[in-house]
Structure 1
Amino acid sequence: MTGPERITLAMTGASGAQYGLRLLDCLVQENREVHFLISKAAQLVMATETDVLLPGKPQAMQAFLSEYTGAAPGQIRVFGKEDWMAPAASGSGAPTSMVVLPCSTGTLSAIASGACNNLIERAADVALKERRQLILVPRETPFSSIHLENMLRLSNLGVTILPASPGFYHQPQTIDDLVDFVVARILNCLNIPQDMLPRWGEHHQCADE
C-alpha cells in the first residue's frame, strides 16, 4: 500500500461538497481508514448542492456514510466538532495526513492564526505542530489579499494549498469529470493510486514516431 493508511478528511462551509464526497468514496475504495469531520455550515452546503442529507448525530452519520460508500465496519469514523478525545485532537493519535475539502476562507483564517475553536481547527493545528501532511482545498473567488496572505503563511509552513480549480486539458464531458480532476490531484499529493486522471506525459508520443 502506498500513501497514508489513515487520513483525516474535514469538510467546511465553502461550496464544493461534491469534492469531499468523491474523495471520501475514493479513500474507502483504496481501503483507507477515514476520520471524518464536518462543520454545520458544510452540512447545509451539502444539502443545497447535492441530494445527500446527512444525519445530525455522529453515530448516525457514520452509519449513513458507511452505507453510502460501501465502507467496511469501522473504516469511516465520524467525530463531533467538540469531541476533544478524538484521535485527530492529539499528536499521539492523529492520522499522518489531513485534507480539508472544501476549505472555507474562515477555516483557512482560523488555521493560519492557530485557532482551535473546534475539532477541525484543532486537528489542523496538530498537523502543523507535528509537521504532518496538511492539504487545504479553498473554493472561493475572487481571493482577497487577506485570503492570499493566509495561504502564503500556511504554504511557508509546509501546507499544500490546492485550490478547487479544475483544468480542461483532459477534455471533461461532465461535472463529474471536473470533480474528478481536483480529487485526482489530491490523491496524487497523498501518494494514493488513482486512475481518474493520467499524470502529465503518461500518454505522450514523440512527434517523429
Structure 2
Amino acid sequence: MRIVVGITGASGSLYAYTLIRALHELGVETHVVATEMGEKVMQFECGVSMEEIKNYATVVSNKNLFANIASGSYKTNGMVIVPCSMNTLGAIANGVGDTLLSRTASVALKEKRKLVVVPRESPLTIIHINNMKLLAEAGADIMPASPGFYHRPREIWELANFMVARILDAFDLDHQLLPRWGEKV
C-alpha cells in the first residue's frame, strides 16, 4: 500500500503527525508533501520539523512538480490532506494544480483514487461549503476534524487517534487506535 499525505497551514498538525506515524507502524509506504505554512504550523503546534517526518515517510518538496506523486502513472492508493486549509481546499475544488500538493490531489481525483480531505476550520462560509460540495461531487471524501467522544478520551492524543482511526478506516487499514462503537472502552 502507498499513500500520500498532504499537510497544509490549517491548525490540526497533530492529526497529520499521528497519521504519518500510524502509517509507518502499519508498514504503509508514505509520501508527505507540505505547504510552507503546513511546515510552520507543524513546527509551532507539535514541535516537529519535516526532518523528523523523514524518519517515518518520504518527504517531497511542494515546489517539485516533477515528483513521482505528481503523475497519474505513479500508482498510489490515494491521498489524505490533513489538516486541509480552506485555501488548499478551494484550489483543489477549482482545478488549480500549481503546487505539488494540489496537483497530487487532482491526480487522485482524475485517476479515481481515494482522496480524503480533513478540513479544520470554523465557522464555515458558504464559499467553503460550496467548495467542499464540489470536491465531494468529484469523488473526494470530506472528513471534518471533529473527533467523537464515545471512547471517553482523557488526553489530547486520544482525540487525534479518533480522527486518524477514521482516516485509516477510509483506506480499509486495520488498526488498534481505539475501540469501535459497542466494544468495551
With the length of structure 2 as denominator, give the TM-score of the two structures.
0.95
For the residue of structure 2 that corresponds to 1:79, the secondary structure is strand
* Partners of 1:160 and 1:82 in 2: CA distance: 25
Identify the residue that residue 6 of structure 1 maps to in structure 2. Answer: 2
**Superposition pairs of residues 8-157 of structure 1, within 5 angstroms:** 8-54=4-50, 61=51, 64-67=52-55, 69=56, 76-157=57-138
Identify the residue that residue 178 of structure 1 maps to in structure 2. Answer: 159
For the residue of structure 2 that corresponds to 1:34, the secondary structure is strand
In the TM superposition, structure 1's runs of 4+ consecutive aligned residues that sit over 4 Å from their partners are: none
Unpaired segments of 5 or more residues in structure 1? 55-60, 70-75, 205-209
With the length of structure 1 as denominator, give the TM-score of the two structures.
0.84
Q: Which letter maps to 1:154?
A: L
Larger Rg: 1
For the residue of structure 1 that corresponds to 2:61, the secondary structure is coil
Unpaired segments of 5 or more residues in structure 2? none
How many residues align structurally? 185
Identify the residue that residue 179 of structure 2 maps to in structure 1. Answer: 198
Task: Render the CA deviation track for 1:88-145: whole Å, top value 9, x for unaligned.
Answer: 1111014121000000000000000000110000000101111110000000001110
Q: Which letter maps to 1:6?
A: R
* Partners of 2:152 and 2:80 in 1: CA distance: 26
* Partners of 1:139 and 1:149 in 2: CA distance: 16
Task: Render the CA deviation track for 1:7-31: whole Å, top value 9, x for unaligned.
Answer: 0001001001110000000000000
